[in-house]
Amino acid sequence: MSDITLNVINKSNDQNNSEFVIFSKNTFGGSDNRSVAWKVIRNLGQDDTHSFVYSSDFFVSVEDSYGNYTPQLRANPGYLFAMIKDETGDVIQHVGTENYGNAFKVENRLEQGSIKAKIYKDAKLFNSSPSLAPDQKVTFELNPIINISAVSHIQEGNTIESAAVSSKPSEISLLGIKSADIVVTGGGPGSAAEPFKFELDNVIKS
């Protein structure tokens, strides 16, 4: 997959200067990973636009129980990473490549102490695992799908709580897309307000 250029256009009737959050879900079966606010778009006035790139690259880092973070390593499909202790302390290593399809894995091989795996895209936190005890592992399957919703009072990198999301998230598949507009409609004042809608337009296929 190559990089995808996206352009959010505010065509809504919103009167509340709403913020819009873009996030991703780990689609691996049984995942209990919490979604993270990857991008938060603020002060997008009517007819304003906000462009960004959904890159093809993922990077993985690990936070240990001491609050230390490892360097970020490129995470390609099929990669297996492990957190181990060597003579310098806790370190992350790429320990193998298997047929995981579109997924990659992170294992805690420490004798003691929990870890959290952190996934980054465009140098911003994109997804995060729950705490992993020794011998536990997490599988990340991050398909080219984004979710976008109106939101209030959230910072990039924060966990998304349902209470903060003021509109039902729209799921948008980016598969096979080179560039596209994401057009925001709906909104409005008082009881006449309509639900926000987020729809692709001017799609150029890859």
What predicted TM-score, i.e. pTM, was given to this entire model? Answer: 0.89
Instruction: Render pLDDT for 56-82 as a digit per residue (tens, 0 to 9).
Output: 999 999 999 999 999 999 999 999 999
Residue 50 has pLDDT above 70, yes or no: yes
Mean pLDDT of 8-13: 96
Position 25 scores a pLDDT of 87
3 state DSSP class of 87 = coil
Q: In this structure, what token pair is assigned to residue 185?
A: 């409609």
Length of the chain in terms of residues written: 206
Predicted confidence band of residue 32 (pLDDT cuts 50, 70, 90): low
Position 168 scores a pLDDT of 77
Mean pLDDT of 88-94: 94
Instruction: Render pLDDT for 179-203 as a digit per residue (tens, 0 to 9).
Output: 999 999 998 877 778 889 999 999 9
End-to-end CA distance of the chain: 9
Tokens 């190559």, residue?
2
What is the edge-to-edge ordering of all strands in the sheet holding 145-151?
39-41, 19-23, 145-151, 170-173
Tokens 């507009």, residue?
181
Map out the domains of the chain with their CATH numbers: 4-55+143-205 (2.60.40), 59-141 (no CATH)
Instruction: Render pLDDT for 124-173 as a digit per residue (tens, 0 to 9).
Output: 999 999 999 999 999 999 889 999 998 878 899 998 875 566 667 899 99
Cα angle 143, 31, 174 (rounded to 5 degrees) comes to: 15
pLDDT over 90 for what percent of the chain? 73
